[in-house]
Structure 1
Amino acid sequence: MWGSHMLGGQFVTLLIMAVALGMDAFSLGIGIGLRGIRWNHMIRLSTIIGIFHIIMPLGGMYAGGFVSGLLGHVATAAAGVLLVLLGGHMIYSSLRGEDAQTFDHRTIWGTLLFALGVSADSFSVGVTLGMFAADLLLTVLLFGFFGSMMSIIGLLLGQRVSHKLGGYGEACGGAVLLVFGLLFIF
């Protein structure tokens, strides 16, 4: 009973984090969607984003497990600070209105660069989760699913809404990460 309660709490936490990390792909997808994207490019881009949202936190979790073994109790505070910085950076970037699309997303290299860019945050969060020994399979499946689905939703929605919503999406994702970071610290 106790184990299932802990897993349920971990699931909710990982679900919220997956959605928060997917907000970056969602908001940038809106920007690309506003410029127009063909259906096959949309599928390719969201699939590669999903794959990167699996690979990046996986690498981060292995690194985080190693760091946790070295640092012990300091790891919790370090993980919290990392999430606060990451969330703060996402909010700051959205408020500055940085344009993440400086390349052609239709080429394979442009697609890979875009996917790497929106998935880089998941590596840092993976490091944090590795310090807490989060469930590996659950983490990468949730992150991959939400990274992919939120990017395709953003691409589709981008064809229908203003550019401002994209910035708010990234800011919301950053706020969630910032709150989790503060909870880990305090």
Structure 2
Amino acid sequence: MSWFEIFLTGVGLSMDAFAVSIGKGLSMKTFNKATALTCGLWFGIFQALMPLAGFMLGFRFQGVIRSIDHWIAFVLLALIGGNMIREALSGEDEEASDAVDVKTMFILAVATSIDALAVGITYAFLNVRIAPAVCLIGVTTFVIATGGVAVGHLFGKKYEQRAEIFGGVILVAIGLKILLEHLFFGG
């Protein structure tokens, strides 16, 4: 898996955090850099920790399911991406609150990073160098989530649905690429 693909995965995974960050920005009467950076840190850290945890789980069971790893990667990424697209099209709102307290941010960070756990499992099967990958995903999410607070403050809910759909499409496309590479090119 190339660094560009890992970056795109990070972009796709960060779309839930971006949507929640937009909600944070919507609730702000005036833009607050500290709030934007705090949201970015919470989401970035959890988006980095969850694939690491998934990688550790996947690595442990790698020998058992090596022959079907490409199917697992495809199914997990397609389900995650498809769910993101479904949620965006259904109009379900992410829960967001004005507070940037530890309890609220912990819940939001965990909720928006569950998908990254599954991605980490696929990384174990693909033998991705996990330390640089999770750093890239974490930094990407930090930047996107921090920007999401600003976007939310400036533009409101106008682009929230498009961001979710875009993230879902990226994850499904990467899953399909992994499957096709393995089936047709022995990747």
Aligned to 1:101: 95
Tell me which of 153, 157, 161 is aligned to 2:155: 161
What RMSD, in angstroms, separates the aligned Cα atoms of the two structures?
Answer: 1.6
Aligned equivalents of 2:52, 2:116: Cα separation in 1: 9
Aligned to 2:14: 22
Aligned to 2:183: none
The aligned length equals: 178
Give runs of aligned pairs for residues 1-186 of structure 1, distance below 5 A: 10-36=2-28, 38-101=32-95, 103=97, 105-186=99-180
2:10 is paired with a residue of what secondary structure? helix
Aligned equivalents of 2:175, 2:131: Cα separation in 1: 22
The normalised TM-score by structure 2 is: 0.89
Letter in structure 2 aligned against 1:173: G
The normalised TM-score by structure 1 is: 0.89
Aligned equivalents of 1:24, 1:18: Cα separation in 2: 11
Identical columns (%): 29
Displaced runs of 4 or more, over 3 A: 102-105
Aligned equivalents of 1:29, 1:79: Cα separation in 2: 28
1:13 is paired with a residue of what secondary structure? helix
Question: Which structure 2 residue ranges, 5 or more long, are not aligned?
Answer: 181-187
Question: Which structure 1 residue ranges, 5 or more long, are not aligned?
Answer: 1-8
Report if the CA contact (8 A) 2:21-2:39 is conserved.
no
Identify the range of structure 1 (98-107 vs 140-149) with the bigger mean alpha-carbon deviation.
Answer: 98-107
Q: CA deviation at 1:76?
A: 1.3
